[in-house]
Amino acid sequence: MLHLTLRQLQVFEAAARHLSFSRAAKELHLSQPGVSMQIKQLEEAIGRPLFEQLGKKLFLTEVGREVQRASQAIAQQLVDLADTLDDLRGLKQGALTVGVVSTVSNFAIRLISQFRQEHPEVRITLNVVNRETLLEQLANNEVDLALMGQPPAGHDLESTPFMENPLLVIAPLSHPLAKQKNIPLTRIAEEDFVAREPGSGTRSATEAFFQSHGLALRAAMEMNKNEAIKQAVESGLGLGVVSRHTVTLELAALRLVALDVEGFPIRRQWHLVHRRNKHFSLAASAFARFVLTQAVRTAGFV
């Protein structure tokens, strides 16, 4: 009979996921010696080592991989239990974690604001991250729902499109191309761009579009925030490609202009994404329905 504690399994799961005691300690707000002690006690209870040090790198042993699978399953059962208890208490005491890519953040805040008008007691955590980090959070079951572009295949995810997300080429009003019509893509490819970081959905879609026409995107600068890109473009540091939803105010105020470029806007969709077979709490189910039925109205398109 094994005598294990949930705390030991929680600490082990974090250490196994990061393959680092120090990163696990940071995540769990523990000291590194505290993590080491919990792991040692768990190894003593099991009677086998769970990690092995090869050079400077930490690896799981075969037993460690088995314990990792079990600890992940137990953690998921606890999450499901918490969701079930929320369901039994009703939506008023529900909790919800939503992850969004930064392109969606401003819209997501408006959407959550309207959702909370109908469900003011639901506790919502909003994580704004880049695409790669959001995929990691979905894989680790750290978010209930995600708002993002279409996820890649092979990640055990389900996605439902809920709204168009067209990408525009933006420029300062003083740019020589600002008043031209049907600008050839070959001409735009000669310009320097202020681009999102590699791994961003916007960056990937833009590069794929250029490559499909035998051209390359000239990324003279990289920034990880759309607000920074808009300011850089307005300052004349290059052109930019952004979601129409992120630049509405600047276009209306004549601070920026959307160029009339051949093939643009790039037609994309925002998707509601979750783990396949994810157990939805009442709060998550209600928010998913709200996104699929009210997103377009929230964006002001109807």
- Average pLDDT, integer, range 25-42: 92
Kindly state whether residue 173 falls inside one of the protein's structural domains.
yes
The pLDDT score that the predictor gives to residue 300 is: 53
pLDDT over 50 (residue 301) = no
> Band of the pLDDT at 82, cuts 50, 70, 90?
confident
Q: Which residue has the higher pLDDT, 295 or 10?
A: 10
Would you say residue 1 lies in a domain?
no
Residues 186 and 242 in one domain: yes
Same domain, 130 and 112: yes
Domain at 19, CATH number: 1.10.10.10
Query: Are residues 127 and 56 part of one domain?
Result: no
pLDDT at 88 over 70: no
Mean pLDDT of 239-249: 91
CA–centroid distance for 25 within its chain: 24
Q: Is the pLDDT of residue 144 over 50?
A: yes
Tell me, yes or no, whether 279 and 157 share the same domain: yes
Say whether both 147 and 10 belong to one domain: no
Q: CA–CA separation, 135 vs 273, rounded Å?
A: 10
- Based on its alpha-carbon atoms, the radius of gyration of the chain, rounded to whole angstroms, reads 23
**What are φ and ψ of residue 105, in 5° steps?**
-60, -45
pLDDT score for 279: 81
Residues 145 and 116 in one domain: yes
pLDDT value of position 274: 94
**196 with 150, same domain?**
no
pTM of the model: 0.62
pLDDT of residue 260: 96
H or E stretch covering 125: strand 123-129
* Domain membership flag for residue 14: yes
Range of the domain at 125: 90-163+269-299
Determine which of 84-98, 117-131, 206-220, 247-261 has the lowest per-residue pLDDT on average.
84-98
Both 71 and 111 in one domain: the answer is: no
Q: From CA 291, how far away is CA 108, in angstroms rounded?
A: 9
Q: Please state, rounded to an integer, the average pLDDT across all residues of the chain.
A: 89
Residues 40 and 20 grouped into a single domain:
yes
pLDDT at residue 246, rounded to an integer: 86
- Shared-domain flag, residues 203 and 158: no
Per DSSP, helices labelled H in the chain are 6-18, 21-28, 32-46, 62-89, 105-118, 131-139, 185-188, 201-212, 226-234, 248-252, 282-299
Structural domains counted in the chain: 3
